Structure 1
Amino acid sequence: MEINLSAIPEDQREAVAALLRERGELKDETASLKSETAGLREIIKRLEHLVAEFNHLIHGKRSEKLSEDERQLAFEDLEAAVAEANEQKEAQAPSDPRPRGAAKRNRGNLPRDLPRIERVIEPDSLQCPCGCGQMHKIGEDRTERLDIVPAQLRVIVTVRPKYACRACTDGVRQASAPAALIEGGLPTEGAIAHVLVGKYADHLPLYRQSQILARSGIDIHRSTLADWVGVAAFNLGPVVDRLAEHLKTSTKLFMDETTAPVLDPGRGRTKTGFLWALARDDRAWSGDDPPGVVYFYAPGRGGENAETFLAGFDGILQVDGYTGYNRLARPSRKGGEPIRMAYCWAHARRKLKEVFDRDGSEIAAEGLRRIAEFYKIETDIRGMVPELRLSARQARTAPLVAAFGEWLQEQRLRISAKSRLGEKLAYIHRHWDGLQTFLHDGRVEIDSNCVENLMRPIALNRKNALFAGHDEGGKAWGRIASLIETAKINGVEPFAYLKATLEAIAAGHPQGRIEELLPWNFNPSS
């Protein structure tokens, strides 16, 4: 409704005009708030959808079908989407002089040894507003933010002056050239270590590393980088051999295998090689020996390869249900006494989970519920000494396992052995003795998940590199991955370790003291 100001007494016109202006401003503000509210509703709707996606990813029917890496990739994208939606929400929120929430800080996570560059920001003027003179400092606020500088390339120039006597001709004196892993070559040991970590820890094939270097103006062909890797793999061989010897002195180890595609030049395609992981991890029962892993390459999956790699080991071996390991438990085993097998309850559970996911079998669901009870007890006793673990298992777990065994036999009598569920139950029955090993030794784990986790880096490298160039490349892959993964599980930074180890080897580290070069003996301050 329009108002005719001329019809209003002159002494009231200004007040009415002010009210009209205020009304117009309120209408504009109302329209703006409605628009913001609609936008916020859309953001909330999007956040609710993302929360539902999170729940589906974690608890959904397909959640166990995702590998750990696939799950992490999904989390990354979902978390990025949530952060974007929250930022949009804050940007669209009505202006408010009050704080919008706690500052997004990550206190306490920046190591003290990181270089710090201080930037002091002074006020425009230090003169007191009331004219008293110059103000005095009474304190300061300090904030820290993480900055990242891309990898810095540099050239080490070694200058060796020559000296001679002017009074005689007895010769020239010059310092010896410093030792180098590749004599007369381009890279320092640090450069070689960087390439090794890029390829085997960060899963960057050499051709991609070559492209990254090229962006910094360094033209180094992939084949040159491959030469560096080969030289390093050869020189690190004795360290890996000693690592394997050290592991095989243990009384309990884990073993697993995974495919390692290898190029077959004669046929113009890839063939299937295998990397076998031999691992020790006694942290769950506070064992004294440091954790470690060695990856052996073999062109096939036959059990004779496991027999070869385990020569000299006599103890308990924790494995999945692969039949190739059966020969290790026989009296005819080569390389040692028959090995005692401990089978993996996670694999038994997985068999039932496959059936449950496919058809919702109540029998499979009951088996899963029973196995879950075993794992609850394992959670309670993790980190305890073997004696306490064994005591708890005998008192609490053994009766549950015995009941599971009776239930298993009852179901096998009811279910056709040729059915999908019947096959899964038969699998558990075949491995029943080994599935009970953990009940009789507090050092034994309920499953072999530890070594399966150590297979993940191999799978990631396989996914990124597609295949090794030949069988020797598969051996180098296993050798360098052994040192990198052993360093990681001992809390050692792989680059620092490899750089120091390659420098020690180049300087002629004695073979008799090779033990000092094992990853768990690395001291970064030395």
Structure 2
Amino acid sequence: LYDYHVIQADETPVLVNKDGHPAGSQSYMWVYRSGFMYRDRQIILYEYQKTRNASHPREFLRDYTGICVTDGYQVYHTLEKEREDLKIAGCWVHCRRRFNDALEVIPKAHRKESILHLIMKQIQAIYREEGKLSDFSTEDRLMQRQLVVKPLVDAFFAYLKQNEPKIPKNGKIREAFTYALNQESYLKVFLEDGDVPIDNNASERAIRGFCIGKKNWEMIDTVNGANSSAIIYSIAETTKANNLKPFDYFEYLLTEIPKHVDDKNTDFLAELLPWSDMLPENIRKPQKASGK
């Protein structure tokens, strides 16, 4: 994962019963994943930590050089200020969500008259043009972003700055304006690199399975259980991202690995990785026919 030019990160709270915290305190499951352009070798890693402070991504990203796409959580920006070889890119979904939340407070009959309606249309236009570039090469995507998407982004921030003095000092509209303007430099990073996604949706999708799961089991009992969960979810989500059948892949691993318990080295593991050409065909999902 450290070899990739662009990675993405996210985190979600989890209740671990016996982690030394006061009852009801939240721990966190962090997730780090490869960027969207590494379609042939996707990597998703979960990491359990007791807190949400900067020390955890600082340690995980210590040997990483490149761009990390995140939401607006401040600890990532703190890390960027500490490093010259780490750049943080922002997430337009989080920006759009703030304005949409503010718009929904306004009665439906008056929404089209609101400044928020036009702002949402501007974001929609940015996404519409970006959506046309998904199959472009890195170089062509960057060129089109500079030619087509960048003017829309520049106009969006110019409009915000022009209208910001007219916004009430409190409320959801002020929160949305403040968030977007504070995140401007991070939200523009994708315009300078064709490999950087416009948002952090891929990380949110990678952590969604865990979020759905914890609604059912509600808590993890021990720290060892949390670390084991991180391993299992890392394998499961990486499996899905590489177009394999999770159950069949786990079954294959649990069949093959015991054959090597007496091996002095672990070179055999390379043949078991989710992108290995040595994997049996029956654990691969059928490829969709082109044009369908």
- Cα gap change, 1:329/1:494 in structure 2, threshold over 3 Å: closer, same or farther? same
Contact 1:390 1:442 in 2 (8 A): yes
1:423 aligns with 2:175: yes
Matched, 1:339 2:86: yes
Relative to structure 1, is the Cα distance of residues 265 and 273 closer, same or farther in structure 2, using a 3 angstrom cutoff? closer
- Aligned positions, number: 273
Say yes or no: does 1:514 pair with 2:266.
no
Q: Does structure 1 residue 249 correspond to structure 2 residue 12?
A: no
Counterpart of 1:311, as a letter, is R
2:62 corresponds, among 297, 304, 311, to 311
Equivalents in 2 of 1:525, 1:407: separation in Å? 53
Amino acid at match of 2:162: E
State whether structure 2 residue 125 is matched by structure 1 residue 353: no
What are the superposed Cα offsets for residues 191-213 of structure 1, whole Å, 9 maximum, x if unpaired? xxxxxxxxxxxxxxxxxxxxxxx
SS at match of 2:168: coil
TM-score, reference length from structure 1: 0.50
Task: Point out 4+ residue stretches in structure 1 off by more than 4 angstroms.
Answer: 265-268
Structure ID, larger Rg: 1
8 Å Cα contact 1:496/1:524 also seen in 2:
no
CA contact (8 A) 2:88 2:186 kept: yes
> Of 450, 464, 474, which residue of structure 1 is paired with 2:202?
450
Q: How does 1:169-248 map to 2 (within 5 A)?
A: 247-248=1-2
Structure 1 399/477 Cα, relative in aligned 2: closer, same or farther at 3 Å? same
> What residue in structure 2 maps to residue 434 of structure 1?
186
Q: Cα gap change, 1:478/1:395 in structure 2, threshold over 3 Å: closer, same or farther? A: same
Q: Would you say the 8 A contact 1:417–1:426 is kept in 2?
A: no
Q: Tell which has more relative contact order, 1 or 2 (C-alpha 8 A, sep 6+).
A: 2
What is the alpha-carbon distance in structure 2 between the residues aligned to residue 339 and residue 422 of structure 1?
Answer: 30
Matches within 5 A, 1:272-421: 272-283=26-37, 287=38, 289-331=40-82, 333=83, 337-360=84-107, 362-421=114-173
TM-score by length of 2: 0.87
Q: Please, which runs of 5 or more residues in structure 1 have no aligned partner?
A: 1-246
Query: What SS class does the counterpart of residue 469 from structure 1 fall into?
Result: strand
AA matched with 1:339? L
Residues 100, 120 of structure 2: 8 Å contact kept: yes
Identical-pair percentage: 28
Match of 1:263 among 14, 17, 20: 17
Distance 1:438 1:268 in 2: 41
For the structure 1 residues 289 and 493, does the alpha-carbon distance in structure 2 shift closer, same or farther, using more than 3 Å as the test? closer
The residue type equivalent to 1:341 in the other structure is I
Task: For residue 219 of structure 2, give the secondary structure of its aligned residue in structure 1.
Answer: coil
The CA deviation at 1:429 is 0.7
- One-letter amino acid matched to 1:474: A
Contact 1:296 1:309 in 2 (8 A): no
- The letter of the residue matching 2:221 is G
Could you tell me whether the CA contact under 8 Å between 2:46 and 2:234 is conserved in 1?
yes
Answer yes or no: is the 8 Å Cα contact 1:438–1:446 preserved in 2: yes
Distance 1:356 1:480 in 2: 40
2:40–2:242: 8 Å Cα contact kept in structure 1? Answer: no
**CA–CA distance in 2 between the matches of 1:346 and 1:514?**
37
The letter of the residue matching 1:261 is: L
Distance in structure 2 (CA, Å) of the matches to 1:368 and 1:256: 25
Task: Report the AA paired with residue 323 of structure 1.
Answer: Q
Alignment root-mean-square deviation, CA: 2.0
Q: How does 1:5-16 map to 2 (within 5 A)?
A: none
Match of 2:241 among 486, 489, 498: 489
Counterpart AA for 2:70: V
